[in-house]
Structure 1
């Protein structure tokens, strides 16, 4: 197969990769080079076993390089006697530390068309690299995920691992009857191999995952600021870029040692939560703190400045004060074309635009942009609507709810009658259109995710007028009793008697506006 095989592929609906037909293992000729990146910190013996397994792969030696990135181990890691022909050890970028920094270092130093990340404590089956790489010969926007089971680390030699893998069976090396299955595999089975998964990035964890190198770099690599859960956060950004996730259970592997969640689940979950809360808006369960601002908002609201300033301010306020408060507003206008330097202030031909810029320039929830980006990634939703129709209090909430139905469309178009249309786009659908090089984004989204249409009343419900107040009957006027004293008759104290209804009105203080008006003018 050659790169020409990726042309004219049928569109993949959401994550249903059924139209793709991978070749059978051992019955095809690979052409794409693979760089296996192994971040490592200590654990020389486990690394020896991992490299011994990689030395017995079916993928051609001349198309595979293995880069072990030493993240500051003491003593430094070394290449064992049994290792792939193209293996080498590199030191991680000294400007950082951690798994993400090590993976990025290896990716920068690699030359393969496919980047395969593999943990240093993974012993893979003979066809592991081949099984995952075969998909990348079909399309260039796929992310493939290998299978894994957890075992207690046995006392075993690297030569035994090498011989066992070359013989074609992990069961000949490890006792898999007591192996702990990965929790992600249950999700994979339940969702028909992720074909029916709503958020397949959830199961794309780091131990064994591969993609085209262009895909890896397009999303900026792994975030070194995420010390735990960096694989999930990276997979989320891949999802927003529009990739398709494909688990291949033929890519078997054994993870040496139990997962951290099994050893101390509460602690493992607790340490990951703040990293994902800041960066993965779809984790609504992690964003329950009211009034918070997050690193990555949930929705971008795009408004084109084509109305008077007061209307723009009204539309911005409506967007920021709705029931979905986790938003950022982008105001689109030719801001960069405003002349700088000395200019008239009162008679400025750009008077309104300058005032708007100053009005919002210090609000972190409002961005000023000349144009709209192809995608708001990593923000998962983008709303675009006319300034003349400000969002209702719960309009965004209603629209997102419609997008989260069983069909999960990639775009919602709302007819606003004479005021045009409003749209809510799913970022992953925009990303897919970009990956496919679609000239007509709406047509591409219709093919890959679907487009739903709605009307104004569904998302801007008409407010009913409150009922008119009921007028209470006026009580009849009672005639005064003849013997009652006159209203102005002296009271026992000698002063005229007054009813409570006839108390003299107190003098009101003069307003600040009145004082300004009556203030004598000087000169």
Structure 2
């Protein structure tokens, strides 16, 4: 079964009686807390998933005195501090088909591990997370038979609950489903972990999210296992200190997670993992420079250009340089050798952490916002591949590839199947007209680095001016709405006053009519009397 995007609802985990075959390695990093660890291990011993297919690895992260574990647990000593380091030490000895991260203060309900593994038997590229609740109940001396009765009332993982509510259970409304990867109780296919690489030991905080991002780049689908429940003994560090934790983690993950665009607000600086890698085969000096310079001067500054060519064949030949048949390569190397955003490579070996790859032939020059518009098209439509038709005769294309879609497609592709067809199944393939998206064939006068910097700064200033104007107009709209509301209130008062006035006028008219009738009767009576008196 092929999952499109993160819509795991297409999968059919085995139900009812079943015969599992996959082994799972539960890796528990621990530092002190022997009393909680004993409960965690006892909860694992009660799991309904077969013990013969379950491996438990406890990594003692320098506890003093050392932690004690029963004989059925594989013990690893890791004196170097850090949860990422401890997890990697456990990962190094794990032998399971599935890796299940588990914190040393998280108790799994008896069916939790089985619920995870049912999902993993449905597809080989999943990351599954339990529904954790946080209990403030005292830590018991022995594990209760009924965990729910002992630890409720408890608080749900509010952040995860909010994420699932905002994204229809993580199947829509988010381009970052990897945020679900939390280390407290999450399992991942071991092949995915191998493809993504181990935990990043350089990070102080944010290791789970960064690992989740790399798993997504490796093709993972993220599943919230609603029937896999667990209890965390006490509140998490994030629940206690969210603001300072975000301050520290954001300082590090911004360099490693390009899809956190709001953390990359600087217009020109370079990052460890760029957002786009543009692959340009070296051609003539003029055409190649036009393409590369345009890419570097675009509104998406977070770009690395991989300029491919036989650079290893160049020698420092000083004789008759103008007659050198490789002169264009020599000029390109001389022009870009010291540009930090341009790499001269024999072939483009893609860094799997980079979310997008743009493949563009030399001589085709993108406009200032061409790359940004293509990225918007891919993101808005969920395309894993956007083919850009540059020329029909002969047919020339550019390609914008989403690395995670191609990684998933490589996992599910059938023998002999074109990878683009598999990408269409798991993410979708779109087409765009090059001219409509700002590509031109003729060489253009492209700005240099300094003018590009100024152009980006001016764009920022213009954006700031627009933001200020939007704020001013928003305030003016609010003022006018207030005035309209005031007028409506006054109009309502006027209508009420008008009704009252009409009533008063009507009453006065009625009184006037009565007076007129009375007056006429008196006049008529007087006339009659006069006439009567004057008649003989």
Same fold (TM over 0.5): yes
C-alpha contact 1:151 1:180 (8 A) present in aligned 2: no
C-alpha contact 1:149 1:182 (8 A) present in aligned 2: no
Structural mapping, 1:209-220, within 5 Å: 209-220=186-197
Residue in 1 that maps onto 2:421: 443
Residue in 2 that maps onto 1:198: 175
Give the whole-Å Cα distance in 1 for the aligned partners of 2:376 and 2:11: 31
Residue in 1 that maps onto 2:264: 287
Cα deviation, 1:361-399, whole Å, max 9, x if unaligned, reads 2222111222233x5421111111121111211111111
C-alpha contact 1:146 1:253 (8 A) present in aligned 2: yes
Residue in 2 that maps onto 1:143: 127
Q: How many corresponding residue pairs? A: 435
Using the size of structure 1 for normalisation, the TM-score is: 0.79
- How far is the alpha carbon of 1:247 from its aligned partner? 1.4
Residue in 1 that maps onto 2:73: 87
- How far is the alpha carbon of 1:350 from its aligned partner? 2.6
In terms of mean alpha carbon deviation, does 239-248 or 189-198 score higher? 189-198
C-alpha contact 2:383 2:429 (8 A) present in aligned 1: yes
Give the whole-Å Cα distance in 1 for the aligned partners of 2:297 and 2:389: 23
Two-structure CA RMSD over aligned residues (Å): 2.1
- How far is the alpha carbon of 1:453 from its aligned partner? 1.1
SS at match of 2:147: coil
Give the whole-Å Cα distance in 2 for the aligned partners of 1:242 and 1:214: 11
Give the whole-Å Cα distance in 1 for the aligned partners of 2:388 and 2:192: 33
Matched, 1:66 2:56: yes
Give the whole-Å Cα distance in 2 for the aligned partners of 1:46 and 1:331: 55
C-alpha contact 1:160 1:173 (8 A) present in aligned 2: no
Using the size of structure 2 for normalisation, the TM-score is: 0.77
Residue in 2 that maps onto 1:160: 143
Residue in 2 that maps onto 1:12: 3
- 2:339 aligned residue (363, 368, 373): 363
Give the whole-Å Cα distance in 2 for the aligned partners of 1:381 and 1:34: 33
Give the whole-Å Cα distance in 1 for the aligned partners of 2:126 and 2:248: 30
Residue in 2 that maps onto 1:392: 367
Cα deviation, 1:386-431, whole Å, max 9, x if unaligned, reads 21111211111111111221x3111112211257222211111111
Residue in 2 that maps onto 1:415: 389
SS at match of 2:9: coil
Give the whole-Å Cα distance in 2 for the aligned partners of 1:135 and 1:86: 26
Residue in 2 that maps onto 1:335: 311
Gaps of 5+ in 2: 441-536
- 2:379 aligned residue (404, 417, 420): 404
Give the whole-Å Cα distance in 1 for the aligned partners of 2:241 and 2:179: 20
Give the direction of change, closer, same or farther, for the CA distance of 1:396–1:36 in structure 2 (3 Å limit). same
- How far is the alpha carbon of 1:189 from its aligned partner? 4.0
SS at match of 2:143: helix
Residue in 2 that maps onto 1:132: 116
Give the whole-Å Cα distance in 2 for the aligned partners of 1:443 and 1:286: 34
More helix by share: 2
- 2:30 aligned residue (34, 40, 58): 40
Residue in 2 that maps onto 1:381: 356
C-alpha contact 1:147 1:252 (8 A) present in aligned 2: yes
Cα deviation, 1:212-262, whole Å, max 9, x if unaligned, reads 222111111111111201000000011111111111111100111112232
Residue in 1 that maps onto 2:243: 266
C-alpha contact 1:61 1:86 (8 A) present in aligned 2: no
C-alpha contact 1:148 1:182 (8 A) present in aligned 2: no
- How far is the alpha carbon of 1:209 from its aligned partner? 1.2
SS at match of 1:147: strand
SS at match of 2:420: helix
Give the direction of change, closer, same or farther, for the CA distance of 1:282–1:212 in structure 2 (3 Å limit). same
Give the whole-Å Cα distance in 2 for the aligned partners of 1:367 and 1:339: 16
Residue in 2 that maps onto 1:489: none
- How far is the alpha carbon of 1:319 from its aligned partner? 0.7
SS at match of 1:324: coil
- How far is the alpha carbon of 1:293 from its aligned partner? 1.1
Give the whole-Å Cα distance in 1 for the aligned partners of 2:426 and 2:107: 36
Give the direction of change, closer, same or farther, for the CA distance of 1:52–1:388 in structure 2 (3 Å limit). same
Give the direction of change, closer, same or farther, for the CA distance of 1:220–1:181 in structure 2 (3 Å limit). closer
SS at match of 1:251: strand
In terms of mean alpha carbon deviation, does 361-370 or 184-193 score higher? 184-193
Cα deviation, 1:58-85, whole Å, max 9, x if unaligned, reads 1111111111111112222222xxx5x6
Give the direction of change, closer, same or farther, for the CA distance of 1:430–1:344 in structure 2 (3 Å limit). farther
Give the whole-Å Cα distance in 2 for the aligned partners of 1:310 and 1:342: 22
- 2:67 aligned residue (58, 77, 83): 77
C-alpha contact 2:139 2:233 (8 A) present in aligned 1: no
- How far is the alpha carbon of 1:311 from its aligned partner? 1.9
Give the whole-Å Cα distance in 2 for the aligned partners of 1:363 and 1:461: 24
- How far is the alpha carbon of 1:461 from its aligned partner? 7.5
Give the whole-Å Cα distance in 2 for the aligned partners of 1:395 and 1:361: 25
- How far is the alpha carbon of 1:310 from its aligned partner? 2.2
Gaps of 5+ in 1: 1-9, 463-523
Give the direction of change, closer, same or farther, for the CA distance of 1:70–1:142 in structure 2 (3 Å limit). same
Residue in 2 that maps onto 1:452: 430
Matched, 1:301 2:284: no
Cα deviation, 1:99-128, whole Å, max 9, x if unaligned, reads 111111101111112111111110110011
Matched, 1:51 2:78: no
Q: Greater CA radius of gyration, 1 or 2?
A: 2
